[in-house]
Amino acid sequence: MNEVIGIIIAAILCWLNFVIVDTYFGLPEQPGVKGARIIGESVEKRGGDIAGGFFQGNILCSPDASAGTLMASIGYLLLGIPGGIIAAFLVFIGNRLCADPGYAGTVGSLTATVIIFVCSFLGFTPEMFIVGMVIAILTVQGLDHKRASVL
pLDDT of the residue at 40: 66
Quote the CA–CA distance of 41 and 54 in Å, as a whole number. Answer: 8
Entry pTM: 0.76
Quote the CA–CA distance of 139 and 134 in Å, as a whole number. Answer: 9
Q: What letter would DSSP give residue 140?
A: H
55-97 tens-digit pLDDT: 444 444 556 778 888 899 999 999 999 999 999 999 888 877 7
Helical ranges in 49-125 per DSSP H:
56-61, 65-79, 81-97, 104-120
pLDDT of the residue at 10: 96
Quote the CA–CA distance of 83 and 28 in Å, as a whole number. Answer: 28
pLDDT of the residue at 86: 94
Whether 69 and 108 have beta carbons less than 8 Å apart is answered as yes
Q: Which residues of the chain have pLDDT under 50?
A: 54-60
Positive or negative CA dihedral for 40, 31, 71, 82? positive
